[in-house]
Amino acid sequence: MWNSSSSVAEVWQNWSSPASAWVLPKDSFSNALAKNMAAVLVWLALSVINGSMVHTFFRHGVFYDNPRYIMFIAMVINDAIQLSLVTALYVLSYIFRKIHASVCCLLIMWAVLTTRSTPLILAGMSVERYLSICFPLHYGQMCTVRRTLLLIGAILTLTATPPVTDLLLSVQREPAGFFQAAIFCDHALLFRHRAIYVKNFVFDGVYLSFVVLTLLFTYCKIMMTARAAASAGLASVTRARNTVMLHGLQLLLCMLAFVVPSLQAALISLFPRLSLEIRYIFFLLVYIIPRFLSPVIYGFRDKLFRQYWTRYLACRKRVGARVAHVS
C-alpha cells in the first residue's frame, strides 16, 4: 500500500538498504483472502453508490448550472478514482508482491494526485456555501459554472505538481534501470530520495494549513450569519453550517493520509509481528471510511439531489425485479 509521505525513519531505512531488500512478512492464505475479499466488496459497494450518483448528475440538466453540484460530482469522481487505485494497490501487493516500477509509478502518482485533491475540493465546496449564505445577492455573479470548472482545473494542476516533481527527481537521481526493476509498490520505496521527503513535507504543511484556515473562516462566517438569521428561522443557513462542519470532519479523516505513515511506521517497529494487521487497519481508516462521507453529505442530505437519486435507484430496482420475474 502506498503512502503520500513517509516518516524520516522509513526514508533513512530505504537509503541504507535497496528496495529489493524491503520485504513484508507473509500473511496466511485465509487471512489474505479475507482481507482482500473485504476490501474488494467495500470497493464494489462504494463504486455502485458513486456510479449511481454520477449517472444521476449527468442524466439531469438541472444540476449542470449549479456550481454546488459540479463541485460535488467532482468530489465523487475523485473519490471513486482514489478508492479504485488504493484498492488495486492493496490487492496487487498480495497477489504479486513486487510489480514493475514503472507501473507502480503510474498508479502511485494518480493515487497521490487524487488524495491531495480531496482537501482542496472540500475547501472549494465550503467557500461556495459561504458565498451562497453570506452574499446571496451576488452569488450568481461570483459563482459561475465557468469559474467552478476553472477552479477544479487549478486544483488538479496544483495537486499534480508534487507527483510530477517526485518523478523528475527520481529519474535524475536514481540509477539507470531503476524503473525497469520489480519492487514492492510503496511510495517510500519508489520515491526514496531525501529531497522528495522534504519537498512533500513542506508542500503538505502549507496547503493543508490553507485548507484548515479556509474551513475555519467559512464556518465562523456562516455561524455569524446563522445567529443573525436565527430570529427569521432560515433553515438554509443551518444546513450550510452543518455542511461545513461535515466538511471539517471529512478533512480530518483525509488528513490521516498525511499523518498516519509516521504513526504506522512507529507501531510496526514496536509490533513487527502485527505489521500486516496494522497496515490493514490503517488502510480501512484512511482510505475506505472517509469515502462514505460524500454520499452522506450530499446524496442523502441534499433534498434536490436525493429526489432525483432515489427516483433513479427505485427505477433500477423495478427494472431488476422485472428482469428477474421474466427469467
Query: 221-248 pLDDT, tens per residue?
Result: 877 877 766 555 556 666 766 777 777 7
Q: How far apart are CA 86 and CA 112, in angstroms?
A: 10
Give a yes or no: residue 101 inside a domain.
Answer: yes
Q: What is the largest CA-CA distance in the chain?
A: 70
292: which residues sit within 8 A by CB, 6+ positions away? 46
Instruction: Specify the amino acid at residue 264.
Output: Q
Q: Which helix (H) or strand (E) holds 100?
A: strand 99-100
Name which of 97, 89, 87, 106 is nearest 45 in CA terms.
87
Q: What total of structural domains would you count in the chain?
A: 1
- Alpha carbon 84 to chain centroid, angstroms: 10
Question: What does the DSSP 8-state code read for residue 309?
Answer: H
Name which of 15, 94, 9 is nearest 269 in CA terms.
9
Q: How far apart are CA 21 and CA 49, in angstroms?
A: 40
Task: Give yes or no for residue 33 having a pLDDT over 60.
Answer: yes
294 pLDDT tier (thresholds 50, 70, 90): low
- Residue 112 burial (C-beta neighbours within 10 Å; 0-12, 13-18, 19+): buried
Tell me which residue has cell 477552479. Answer: 151
Which residues on adjacent β-strands are paired with residue 215? none
Give a yes or no: residue 284 inside a domain.
Answer: yes
- Averaged pLDDT, 166-195: 86
Q: Which pLDDT does position 313 carry in this prediction?
A: 77
Task: Return the percentage of the chain with pLDDT > 70, whole number.
Answer: 79
Q: Which helix (H) or strand (E) holds 292?
A: none
Considering just the CA atoms, what is the radius of gyration of the chain in Å? Answer: 22
Task: Give yes or no for residue 251 having a pLDDT over 90.
Answer: no
Asked if residue 288 lies in contact with residue 90, where contact means CB atoms within 8 angstroms, the answer is no
Give a yes or no: residue 166 inside a domain.
Answer: yes
Which residues on adjacent β-strands are paired with residue 183? 99
Backbone phi and psi for residue 194, each to the nearest 5 degrees, phi listed first: -65, -35
Name which of 108, 96, 90, 114 is nearest 39 in CA terms.
90
Poorest-pLDDT segment among 11-20, 78-87, 138-147, 295-304: 11-20
Residue 314 lies in domain: 8-16+29-326
Poorest-pLDDT segment among 8-17, 127-136, 150-159, 177-186: 8-17
Strand segments (E) across 192-323: none
Q: Which pLDDT does position 261 carry in this prediction?
A: 65
Q: Which pLDDT does position 77 carry in this prediction?
A: 92
Q: Which pLDDT does position 236 carry in this prediction?
A: 64
Give a yes or no: residue 304 inside a domain.
Answer: yes
Q: Please list the helix, strand and coil fractions of the chain in percent, rounded to the nearest 5, in that order.
A: 85, 0, 15
Query: 78-98 pLDDT, tens per residue?
Result: 989 988 998 888 888 888 878
Instruction: Specify the amino acid at residue 66.
Output: N
Task: Give yes or no for residue 190 having a pLDDT over 90.
Answer: no
Give a yes or no: residue 3 inside a domain.
Answer: no
Give a yes or no: residue 275 inside a domain.
Answer: yes
Q: At what angle do helices 101-134 and 194-228 cross, to 10 degrees?
A: 20
Backbone phi and psi for residue 71, each to the nearest 5 degrees, phi listed first: -65, -40
Q: How far apart are CA 174 and CA 15, in angstroms?
A: 11
Instruction: Specify the amino acid at residue 292.
Output: F
Name which of 220, 243, 226, 224 is nearest 122 in CA terms.
243
Give a yes or no: residue 22 inside a domain.
Answer: no
Asked if residue 187 lies in contact with residue 204, where contact means CB atoms within 8 angstroms, the answer is no
Task: Give yes or no for residue 297 having a pLDDT over 60.
Answer: yes
Q: How far apart are CA 79 and CA 4, in angstroms?
A: 15
Q: Which pLDDT does position 277 carry in this prediction?
A: 81
Task: Return the percentage of the chain with pLDDT > 90, whole number.
Answer: 15
Give a yes or no: residue 23 inside a domain.
Answer: no
Backbone phi and psi for residue 174, each to the nearest 5 degrees, phi listed first: -80, 155
Domain of 152, CATH number, reads: 1.20.1070.10
Task: Give yes or no for residue 3 having a pLDDT over 80.
Answer: no
- Alpha carbon 125 to chain centroid, angstroms: 15
289 pLDDT tier (thresholds 50, 70, 90): confident
Q: Which residue has the higher pLDDT, 5 or 66?
A: 66
212 pLDDT tier (thresholds 50, 70, 90): confident
Q: What is the pTM (predicted TM-score) of this model?
A: 0.81
Q: Which pLDDT does position 264 carry in this prediction?
A: 73
